[in-house]
Amino acid sequence: MNNVIIVQQDITQLRIEVIVNAANSTLLGGGGVDGAIHRRAGPSLLEACRALGGCPAGEARITPGFNLPAKWIVHTVGPVWRGGTLGEPGLLRACYRNALQLAREQGATSIAFPAISTGVYGYPKIAAAEIALSEMYAAWGFERVVACCFSKEDADIYRRLCSGYAGGESDNGMA
């Protein structure tokens, strides 16, 4: 069990080693959290992403954070929700695991995730949060794992689900 913290914030503002981007498979930027990250990180991020040549759903790639306070950005591509029978849960779980693994390989001990796939990709919020939290709580090697919710609705869902884990949410004063 590690420290899982829930905040309601713009992920681009977090002072943390790694933030995770819910990217699309081109890695060339888009709307939502992806757009916000590219805007704040600056044009060098697009250049770095272009060199990566895309990323399939469930996998992850890493770039520097450029102008962000975060040192690294892990870009992961969530599944588009198509009813849940086309492997969406496994792909979403893989996003969290692969992102954590890449961050660990960089020696990072703190990481923040947005609610991957729950925006334009349409993954049901509660089902997605259950997967997100189970992977965050299972993550090893981190001092801080942050669930960065953009809306109060999302933060409420995460907080409710969190109480089901031993000890619930930890509080380090970050929020």
Whole-number Å distance between alpha carbons of 40 and 118: 21
Check residue 114 for interaction with ligand ADP (CB under 6 A).
Answer: yes
Of residues 145, 83, 149, the one with CA closest to residue 119: 149
Of residues 90, 20, 92, the one with CA closest to residue 62: 20
Q: Which is nearer to ligand ADP, 37 or 103 (CB)?
A: 37
Q: Which is nearer to ligand ADP, 88 or 103 (CB)?
A: 88
Which residues ranging from 64 to 83 are in contact with ligand ADP (CB under 6 A)?
78
Among 17, 57, 119, 132, contact with ligand ADP (rule: CB under 6 A): 119
Which window, 42-50, 62-70, 118-126, 155-163, contacts ligand ADP (CB under 6 A)? 118-126
Q: Which is nearer to ligand ADP, 40 or 166 (CB)?
A: 40
Whole-number Å distance between alpha carbons of 116 and 162: 17
Q: Which is nearer to ligand ADP, 33 or 136 (CB)?
A: 33
Among 2, 7, 8, 10, contact with ligand ADP (rule: CB under 6 A): 10
**72-77, strands of its sheet edge to edge:** 4-8, 144-149, 110-113, 18-23, 72-77, 60-64
First-to-final CA distance of the chain? 20
Active site residue 34: yes
Of residues 153, 137, 144, 117, the one with CA closest to residue 33: 117
Check residue 113 for interaction with ligand ADP (CB under 6 A).
Answer: no
Of residues 103, 169, 174, the one with CA closest to residue 140: 103
Check residue 32 for interaction with ligand ADP (CB under 6 A).
Answer: yes
The residues annotated with a catalytic role in the active site are 34
Which residues contact ligand ADP by CB under 6 A? 10-12, 22, 32-34, 36, 78, 114-121, 148, 150-151, 154
